[in-house]
Amino acid sequence: MTEPGGQRERGPVTIAHIAETAGVSVPTVSKVLNGRSGVSEQTRARVEELIERYGYRKPPAKGNDILELVFHELAGMQAVEVIRGVEQVARKHRFGVVISESGPAAATATAVDDLVERRPRVVLAVARLSEAERDLLKTRGIPFLVLDPATELPDDVPFVGATDWRGGQTAIRHLVKLGHRRIAVISEPDLLPCRARLAGFHSAMQAAGLPVEPDLVLDAPLTREGGHAAALGLLARADRPTAIFASSDLQALGVYRAAREAGLRVPEDLSVVGFDDLPVGAWVEPPLTTVHRPLAEMAAAAAELALSLGRGEEPAQTGVEMATTLTVRESTAPPPATAAAAAATTTAAD
């Protein structure tokens, strides 16, 4: 409201007053204040001019002790581990957790707009946070962190990941120690962690003086179906590999299925190593040898770092990588020729 002569009445300016003066709705002014889309440039300029003229400042959010946990795709057993790790830390610090999904590209803009409207204290994104999303969060003053990044990030973006390169190296060293020489790998090169695992594979093979045959390095999605399709081709070869290193436990389960269809036994005819150490790996028959990624611990560490960012603290280090370890179960054994030679030597000695 204004006084006669165009002078504004004393007292705080409300968003409703700005909307009335601009001739627009309150939600439209809210969109301008929050940097959301859906407002014409002309209307946006008029509202921004009034905001500046009246010196309007958005009231500080109340009760926004919220950590927003954003999944690109909320599915699978790994999501459960992440949520468990984040919620343990949030409870300790009396923070609430909002779980959201950014989804496919068509839905991303709306999802980010909704996130900004909620004004969380900090955002913890799983695997992906695009440049446009990072820029928007920066303009709104919302700190963010990426857990287990799937793509390269700028040096100034905080993240928590795992020693995937070391994990790949450790898996192959285990197979080489058992006597395997023809080792195949199934990877997913579009994902940063998988590229690191593949690099670890190459490093271990080179250190052992073993050649890497291009035909034994296959690309496939990190799914059971992907592992199955890739393994079918590998096991159909006359010179099939004696061991397969899969970039995920789900791929490894697909390898199990392909081995059964080819009439091969695991591990007597084919050794299999997975990656992630999902609970299902201990349940299958035979139990799966796999590289353990401490996902719940990674999520907890990411939540601690995220909350420190939310408090305005400078992180001691931008990136944190947590150690992977090899969980040896019953899906790996010496290759058939080595096992047969060992048995013959034992028999001769008797």
In order along its 350 residues, the chain shows pLDDT tens digits of 344 334 444 445 777 788 888 888 877 877 787 676 778 888 888 888 888 888 776 654 444 789 999 998 877 778 888 999 999 999 999 999 999 887 665 455 667 777 878 889 999 999 999 898 998 898 888 999 999 999 999 999 999 999 999 999 999 999 999 999 999 999 999 999 999 999 999 999 999 999 999 999 999 999 999 999 999 999 999 999 999 999 999 999 999 999 999 999 999 999 999 999 999 999 999 999 999 999 999 999 999 999 999 888 888 888 999 999 999 999 999 998 754 444 444 444 45
Specify whether the CB–CB gap between 157 and 124 falls below 8 A: no
Tell me what pLDDT residue 24 has: 86
For helices 26-33 and 15-22, the axis angle rounded to 10 degrees is 110
Is omega for the bond preceding 286 within 30 degrees of 0, making it cis?
yes
Domains parsed from the chain with CATH numbers: 1-59 (1.10.260.40), 66-162+297-323 (3.40.50.2300), 164-293+326-343 (3.40.50.2300)
Residue 47 has phi, psi (to 5 degrees) of -65, -45
> Distance between CA atoms of 159 and 170, rounded to whole angstroms?
23
Tell me what pLDDT residue 183 has: 98
- In single-letter form, the type of residue at position 252 comes to A
Give the HSE-up count for residue 242: Cα atoms under 13 Å, Cβ half-sphere.
Answer: 17
Count Cβ neighbours within 10 Å for each residue of 86-106 and write b for 16 or more, e otherwise: bbebbeeeebebeebbbeeee
Give this prediction's pTM: 0.77
The pair of structure tokens assigned to 32 is 């301008």
Find the angle CA(217)-CA(219)-CA(223) to the nearest 5 degrees.
125
Tell me what pLDDT residue 269 has: 97
Tell me what pLDDT residue 118 has: 82
Tell me what pLDDT residue 288 has: 98
Residues 169, 129, 299, 331, CA torsion sign:
negative
Find the angle CA(230)-CA(235)-CA(237) to the nearest 5 degrees.
110
Residue 90 has phi, psi (to 5 degrees) of -60, -40
Instruction: Work out the number of other CB atoms within 10 angstroms of the CB of residue 247.
Output: 34
Tell me what pLDDT residue 104 has: 62
Give, for 123, the enclosing helix (H) or strand (E): strand 122-126
Residues 135, 141, 142, 143, CA torsion sign:
positive
Is omega for the bond preceding 267 within 30 degrees of 0, making it cis?
yes
Tell me what pLDDT residue 343 has: 46
The pair of structure tokens assigned to 187 is 């990877």
> Distance between CA atoms of 98 and 111, rounded to whole angstroms?
13
